[in-house]
A and B are shown apart, each in its own frame.
Chain A
Amino acid sequence: MEIVVCIKRVPQTAEAEVKVDPSGRDIVKDRLTFDINEADSYALEQAILLKEKYGGSVTAISLGPAEAEDTLRIALAKGADNALRIKEEDFTPLDGYKTALILYNIIKDLKYNVILTGCIATDDGYSQVGPIIAELLGIPHATLVTELEIKDEKAEVVRELEGGLLERLEINLPALFAVQTGINEPRYASLLAIRRAAKKEIKTLGGADIQGEVKSLSVLEKLYVPPVERRAEILSGSMDEISEKLVQIIKEKGLL
């Protein structure tokens, strides 16, 4: 089974303070730490699990800056066989469509039965790249995948729907799956594997390697922090007074 997995290096913003840089179109990154996008680490793990079960090889692709090679190296250390970086610097600015178009251009010339991506990137949150690649390749896809099994050239897939519903599908291969977090438990790379991966070559491709024109469909105008409305109120007084006021407020809001 030939597996391609797309992974992205993103800033870890969950606990950090995020500031917009002077251009107004990007965030200040120098104090942030970066790591593989959360959903992508599950996609990578799923790719390796599939390989371990069905044989074949895993190719990890990242469209990103030179630092993304660290992310690819860890992918190699965890069990990917090949790693490929597409130089982001040759293509910026990027939107979801253009990203997918570039990835499509590379993937179309590779061998694949299964393509895996994460279902959403924590930085831009587009959730577009996987489905667009599939459409461009003309293959079926499923998003928000929470289970994935392969049986006789077909994939058995469980998807997560709104309202706690699940959907079970059978999909012909080749196909693309955008996986949800929690589908598996991503492993950690062992030190020996890291050591070996550190010495492996990572192939890089740039603008010259892509035929045809790749264009964005949307333009980022402005990034901003939403203005904060101050609605907090601190109640003071004795315990009784406070609880009385609190009940009053809750009643006013029609919650009681």
Chain B
Amino acid sequence: MILSKRYQEFQDWVRQFARKEVAPRAKELDKKEEFPRDLVKRMAELKMLGIFIPEEYGGAGLDTLCYAIAVEEVGRVCGSTGIFLAAHSSLGVFPIYHAGDEKQKSRWLIPLVKGEKIGSFGLTEPNAGSDAAATRTTARLEGDFYVINGIKRFITSGSIADIIVFTATQDPSKGHRGISAFVVEKGTRGFSYGRNEDKLGLRGSITSELIFEDCRIPKENLLGKEGEGFKVFMDTLDGGRISIGALALGIGEGALDAIINFVQQAQESGQPLKKNQWIQSMVAEIATELESARLLVYQAAQLKDVGIPFIKESAMAKYYASKVGMKATSIALEIFGADGLTDEYPVERFMRDEKLMEIGEGTSEIQKIVIARQILGK
């Protein structure tokens, strides 16, 4: 796909940033399970935490395509930093920008975009994963407060976030029509964290359990209207899928970069490895698939930017990019052999990181259901 000059320049710029500043930290973040606060600060300085947010709210005033490119390039060197960027922007920043009123925007959106605060998004619960409408977290209006009870699970950046958008139901019998979206701030009484997950990959990203026990949040923390929370979240996820698609693509490309590097230097029985057709075949296949994934991701982003429905396209982008990304990272190990299993190369990390892309923000199965519904009708 030919990007216009403007996007090319942006791409060059983030790529430089990712390679220079993020890449050197990637291995260590994974090893030490360290959250990259310093990189968050840098990204804030570079206005990367609100790429698609207008300048009036402190954002970069760019668009979804730029955002997708940024997540892709960061993910290409570090999945953990990539998932932070994607979750903070798509899941923390976006719903407030999308559904918040002006007061809420100045209170929460601006500090999030400036990187003064970290954002997070709590939808998933122990028994409400793919079936997000099965939310059991409850909200009861008492005077000027909502009283919240329940548990959220697998929340990216949860225990370090300052501002958390989440869903709760006021009436479980109403299904998704009973669900509203709220914001809770760190330190609110009755709001606490369970443990952080010990994960296969994305180990530099934090995934937490959130616990609400008679947590009272002011009425003004309702995001959008009562009963419309599910819609806020579905809109959020439709966009979020583009960023997970971009991240999946980035991680897959990271694996391809590593393969190229390796193959160009390696020899086999005195011959340059790059001349081996077994290798050529694998490399050509994954490069082609990743290129197609890129087209899907960029297409979905552009549709969103011009305001054309993009539900099908974003689901396709996420589904396909994570699928071919997973294949690329897996094949990378098959090319590297035993060496690739060690931490001297990034490929095993890419594989571990990539697996989440087929699960988070709607599993591949859920994406296929979304796509099929769009094509076949409900």
- Expressed in whole angstroms, the minimum distance between the Cβ of A243 and any Cβ of chain B is 12
Residues in B with CB closer than 8 Å to A239 are: 149, 213
Interface size on B, residues (CB 8 A): 4
Pairs across A and B, CB under 8 Å, 5 listed:
A238-B138, A238-B140, A238-B149, A239-B149, A239-B213
Which of chain A's residues have a CB closer than 8 A to the CB of B149?
Answer: 238-239
User: Once bound together, how far apart are the Cα atoms of A239 and B140, in whole Å?
Assistant: 13
Bound complex: CA of A238 vs CA of B140, how far in Å? 10
Count residues of chain A with CB under 8 A from any CB of chain B.
2
Interface residue ranges, A against B (CB under 8 Å): 238-239
* Cα-based distance from A221 to B276 in the complex (angstroms): 75
CA distance A238 to B149 in the complex (A): 8
Return the 5 tightest CB-CB contacts between A and B, nearest first: A239-B149, A238-B149, A238-B138, A239-B213, A238-B140
Complex contacts, B138 vs chain A, CB 8 Å: 238
Contacts of B140 in A (CB 8 A): 238
What sequence of 0s and 1s flags, for each residue 211-233 of chain B, a beta carbon within 8 Å of any chain A beta carbon?
Answer: 00100000000000000000000
CA of A104 to CA of B55 in the docked complex: distance in angstroms?
Answer: 96
Min distance, Cβ B344 to any Cβ of chain A, angstroms = 39
Contact string, B138-180, partner A, CB cutoff 8 A, digits 1/0?
1010000000010000000000000000000000000000000
Q: Across the interface, which residues of B come within 8 angstroms of A238, CB to CB?
A: 138, 140, 149
Tell me how far the C-beta of B170 lies from the nearest C-beta in chain A, rounded to whole angstroms: 12
For residue B147, which residue of chain A has the nearest CB? A238
CA distance A16 to B121 in the complex (A): 43
A240 to B: closest C-beta gap in Å? 8
Contacts of B213 in A (CB 8 A): 239
User: Considering the chains assembled together, what is the distance between the CA atoms of A239 and B213 in angstroms?
Assistant: 9
Q: Mark B171-215, 1 if CB is under 8 A from A, else 0.
A: 000000000000000000000000000000000000000000100
Min C-beta distance of A174 to chain B, whole Å: 60
B 30-44 binary contact with A (CB < 8 Å = 1; else 0): 000000000000000
Minimal Cβ-Cβ distance residue in B for A239 = B149
Over the window 120-152 of chain B, the binary record of Cβ atoms lying under 8 Å from chain A Cβ atoms (1 yes, 0 no) is: 000000000000000000101000000001000
Q: Please, what's the 1-or-0 string for B97-138, where 1 marks a CB less than 8 Å from any CB in chain A?
A: 000000000000000000000000000000000000000001
Assembly CA distance A132 to B359 (angstroms): 63
Q: How distant is B186 from chain A, measured CB to nearest CB, in Å?
A: 22
**Residue in A closest to B138 when the chains form the complex, CB atoms:** A238
